[in-house]
């Protein structure tokens, strides 16, 4: 594991971004158990590591890593030596560029970023080789398979997760409506700064998005904690919902909310309780 620290100063405020990268461990990717063990060992050596990469116990981290790095299907053509081209300095530059743009919005004093390699077929084929995950309030995971142009995808995933860091309601307790708003905002937020629209925001068209949304009706109140599969099905696909429906629905909802808005106050938008958006006239027709 390689570690680094970036310090930002903005007015009287200091922000520290800690980076822990496991890209240098990619030569262990041939063996799932071995890779996970080496990650756990590296983390154990870190004195200031209070929780384990944002998780309360080893088991939950192991589950997350297996899902996000190895998937049920591994990418058959990977070469671990592709990671050696990515130095931690490169990651630092990308993080610095992102934070410099949104610095003025951040109240956080510290952000921890864990960088992992991934050979998940899904991440490589469907997500342009980069995926992100918010492990805890200010603890971000980014998983990378460096396809051509991965740098922009890295920034996109990092911005998306930073948006979640600024949403006080973002947790397993959020209900389905809050979850749709959270993801829609995160995607619109990254689009605003990067001018890039991700494929999961156009997995279905707006008409279909409204159709699915209207049928959700009472399901909108169901929490992620108690109805995990409902949330997963809507965001990651099932018999009932096409892949990424949730991301697209959220994106279109926020698109309507932001319509004709000249100056977007991201801080306010990200901190607003999503239930207040239900009263927004611009999305009234989603409920009719």
Provide the binding-site residues for Zn ion, judged by CB under 5 A: 183, 186
Residue 110: its H or E element: strand 110-117
**Distance between CA atoms of 42 and 272, rounded to whole angstroms?**
38
Tell me the closest approach of the beta carbon of residue 100 to Zn ion, in angstroms.
Answer: 22
Residue that is written with structure tokens 């049928």 in the block: 215
Distance CA 166, CA 274 (A): 13
Q: Judged by CB, which is closer to Zn ion: 38, or 258?
A: 258
Of 4, 149, 146, residue with least CA distance to 80: 146
Distance of CA 4 to the CA centre of its chain: 21
DSSP H helices in the chain: 32-44, 58-65, 88-102, 121-126, 150-165, 176-194, 206-216, 228-236, 245-258, 266-271
**Smallest gap, in angstroms, from Cβ of residue 48 to Zn ion?**
27
Residue among 36 and 182 whose Cβ is closer to Zn ion: 182
For the chain, the residue count is 288
Tell the smallest beta-carbon distance from residue 37 to Zn ion (Å).
29
Residue 120: CB minimum distance to Zn ion, A: 17
Q: Which is nearer to Zn ion, 78 or 133 (CB)?
A: 133
Distance CA 74, CA 64 (A): 15
Give 26 or 272: the residue with its C-beta nearer to Zn ion.
272
- CB of 133: closest distance to Zn ion in angstroms? 8
> Which of 25/179 has CB closer to Zn ion?
179
| Nearest distance in Å: CB 251, Zn ion | 11
Nearer to Zn ion, 42 or 187 (CB): 187
């Amino acid at each position: 594991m390689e570690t680094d620290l970036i310090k930002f100063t903005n007015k009287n405020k200091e922000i520290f971004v800690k980076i822990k990268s496991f890209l240098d461990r990619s030569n262990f990717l041939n063996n799932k158990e071995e890779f996970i063990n080496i990650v756990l060992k590296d983390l154990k050596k870190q004195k200031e590591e209070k929780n384990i990469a944002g998780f309360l116990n080893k088991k939950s981290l192991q589950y997350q890593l297996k899902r996000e790095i190895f998937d049920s299907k591994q990418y058959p053509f990977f070469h671990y030596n592709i990671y050696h081209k990515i130095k931690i300095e490169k990651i630092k530059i990308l993080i610095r560029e992102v934070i410099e743009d949104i610095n003025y919005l951040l109240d956080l004093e510290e952000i921890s970023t864990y960088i992992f390699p991934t050979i998940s077929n899904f991440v490589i084929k469907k997500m342009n080789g980069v995926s992100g995950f918010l492990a805890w309030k200010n603890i971000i995971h980014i998983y990378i398979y460096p396809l051509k142009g991965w740098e922009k995808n890295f920034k996109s995933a990092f911005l998306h997760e930073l948006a979640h860091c600024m949403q006080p309601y973002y947790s397993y307790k959020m209900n389905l409506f809050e979850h749709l708003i959270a993801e829609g905002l995160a995607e619109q937020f990254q689009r605003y700064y990067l001018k890039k629209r991700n494929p999961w925001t156009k997995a279905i068209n707006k008409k279909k998005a409204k159709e699915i949304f209207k049928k959700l009706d009472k399901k909108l109140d169901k929490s992620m904690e108690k109805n995990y599969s409902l949330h997963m099905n809507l965001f990651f696909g099932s018999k009932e919902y096409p892949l990424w429906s949730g991301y697209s629905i959220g994106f279109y909802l926020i698109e309507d909310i932001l319509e004709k808005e000249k100056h977007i106050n991201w801080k306010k938008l990200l901190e607003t309780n999503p239930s207040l958006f239900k009263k927004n006239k611009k999305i009234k027709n989603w409920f009719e």
